[in-house]
Structure 1
Amino acid sequence: MADPQRPRERGNPIGPTARTVGENIKRLRGDMGVTQAELSKRLAANGRPIPVASIGRIESGDRRVEVDDLAAIAIALGVGPLALLLPDTRLPVDVVEITGWGKAQAREAWFWGASGVPLTELDGSVEDMQSEVEWAHQRSSPWWLVAPYVSVTDMSAQDQARMIASWGLREVGRLLDESPDAEAVIYDPGSGEVTFRRRNPIDGDDHGEHPATS
């Protein structure tokens, strides 16, 4: 007969990442001198109430952490979400457990979480490994964070927001693929014109800007 005191779980059991989140919340609270009651008050004031008892169960690994709760707790504690999601270890080579992967070194877990470097065995040439890492990194962040080869002329915040909304990393990559001698894509928000700065195929010097074809 099922234990009437034990809550019935739905779906997958609580995994290592949820336990890590609980441990991190407890550790960060202690470092900041914030009680569970104070954290609960902060969450309620921010529009995401979580009772004190539920915070205790999260910290002990007995309660699931919804993504909205995780974001709200990170804000209430004044940290980024990765500070809750990824394990805090004494050394970068300490072994941790990641849901869906298993055991990995802490530095590998943080490289994956912060930069999108894949948690995978990268076999093959250095070029192949670099390509896979770059691909994962590009897909893990907005294009405007990971595309240093995109050069933007002077623009207002409104123009920049418009560009971010209308452009994407795939489009930039397509333009570069179609022009193998291009060194950078240059976008002018005033005219909406896209140009390339091209390399000299002989000595590597720039040959000026040329319109991009689409």
Structure 2
Amino acid sequence: METERVRGNPAGITHEHVAQNLRTARQAIGMDVRTAARLMTEAGRKLSPSGISKIENGDRRVDVDDLTALAYILRTTPAALLTPLAEAVTLTGVPESFLPEEIQAWVAGAVKLTTEDLVRYWKEQRFQAINSAHWAEEILAKYDRGQVGITPREVYQERYDVQTAREEHATGRLLQLDPNASLAFE
């Protein structure tokens, strides 16, 4: 019985995110592939215009050294090139049980994908939302007492509503991760 030899792993979903983000970042600053290739060479990572096009089209992998050089010449960060779109929740090797926000925070280095660290993250998010909602509520109370400001009252009402919803979301996710989590400020 003969088996087919397979070299390496096939490119995964993270590769697709990088390809898309690379093209988006390059186009956002109005850089063509020739200029990108020249800047890559100047950065010490020779990469032809067709090599850049192949990466952007998903036909060529990008290694970590190229990724950091590409991020530099495109005036962005390696994390930005790795980060999936806001609605995307999958990365190669990462279970799909995480929320898009958690994946983005993880790629940015703000959280580890462990229950303990996610609990910490959501407690912080909840605390920030409560504080922001409280601030907006104080401004709304001033309006209610007749102290009108420059910014329309509706702006503060919207901020309050957004932060209240954010607190509810953070609380829900926190309790989902740890049903026994303390909701008191520690």
TM-score by length of 2: 0.56
Aligned AA (1:99): T
Match 1:58 to one of 55, 58, 77: 55
d(CA) in 2 for partners of 1:46, 1:114: 24
d(CA) in 2 for partners of 1:35, 1:119: 37
Given that 2:111 and 2:117 are in contact with CA atoms closer than 8 Å, whether structure 1 keeps it comes out as no
Q: Decide which moves more: 70-79 or 94-103.
A: 94-103
Match of 2:17 in 1: 20
d(CA) in 2 for partners of 1:34, 1:109: 29
Q: Aligned pair in 2 of structure 1 residues 131, 12: CA closer, same or farther (>3 Å)? A: closer
Aligned AA (1:74): A
Corresponding residue pairs, total: 116
Aligned AA (1:84): L
Q: What is the correspondence of 1:2-151 to structure 2 with a 5 Å cutoff? A: 10-89=7-86, 94-103=87-96, 104-120=98-114, 122=115, 129=116
- The CA deviation string for residues 86-122 of structure 1, in whole angstroms up to 9 with x for no partner, is 1133xxxx232111114343211111122352335x3
Q: Aligned pair in 2 of structure 1 residues 20, 130: CA closer, same or farther (>3 Å)? A: closer
d(CA) in 2 for partners of 1:119, 1:102: 10
Q: What is the correspondence of 1:179-190 to structure 2 with a 5 Å cutoff? A: none
d(CA) in 1 for partners of 2:110, 2:60: 28
d(CA) in 2 for partners of 1:118, 1:34: 34
d(CA) in 1 for partners of 2:24, 2:118: 37
d(CA) in 2 for partners of 1:11, 1:31: 33
| Structure 1 unaligned residues grouped into runs of 5+ | 1-7, 123-128, 135-214
d(CA) in 2 for partners of 1:60, 1:118: 30
d(CA) in 1 for partners of 2:108, 2:8: 28
TM-score by length of 1: 0.49
Q: Aligned pair in 2 of structure 1 residues 111, 43: CA closer, same or farther (>3 Å)? A: same
SS in 1 for 2:10: coil
Given that 1:118 and 1:133 are in contact with CA atoms closer than 8 Å, whether structure 2 keeps it comes out as no
| Structure 2 unaligned residues grouped into runs of 5+ | 122-186
- The CA deviation string for residues 48-84 of structure 1, in whole angstroms up to 9 with x for no partner, is 1111111111111111110100011001111111010
Given that 2:13 and 2:92 are in contact with CA atoms closer than 8 Å, whether structure 1 keeps it comes out as yes
Match of 1:207 in 2: none
RMSD: 2.4
Greater relative contact order (Cα < 8 A, sep 6+): 2
